[in-house]
Amino acid sequence: MHPLVLFFGLITIAQAAQLTGREQVPIVSQDAEVNYDGSYRTSYETGNGIAAQEQGRLKNSGNKDAEAEEVQGSFQYTAPDGSPILLQYIADENGFQPSGSHLPVGPTPPPIPEAILRSLEWNAAHPEQDDSSGKF
């Protein structure tokens, strides 16, 4: 490559970094592995504390009715308010299932009313009297 083209290329990259107003963050570590069976692992960590890792595999390979991709991973970073964020996840035939202490938790369901609770307990104690014919 001609030295002048290389020089102008580097100047363009430096100017683009300045225009975005963002500092360039180095990659501290990076690893990737892809296997013949379709399984994989990947991870990286940046100089500003962002880290991520993920691995995946095909479950029930060869059984078209039961094949499912299973992915597990996590990532972490520091939120703008300074709090550490760690999100772990699984994605499989049951969908995406994230977990992390920073995620909102839904409201606690109300307690089962006493009369319904007694009815459920009575039904469990007397299964022989269950009318499963569907007639009332």
Three-state secondary-structure class, residue 79: coil
Segment 92-123, tens digit of pLDDT: 888 899 999 888 888 888 888 999 999 999 98
Segment 9-29, tens digit of pLDDT: 555 565 555 555 667 889 899
Q: What is the spatial distance between Cα 40 and Cα 38, in angstroms, rounded to a whole number?
A: 6
Q: What's the pTM?
A: 0.59
Segment 28-38, tens digit of pLDDT: 999 999 998 88
62: left (phi over 0), alpha (psi -120 to 50) or beta: left
Cβ atoms of 78 and 84 within 8 Å: the answer is: yes
What mean pLDDT is reported for the chain?
82
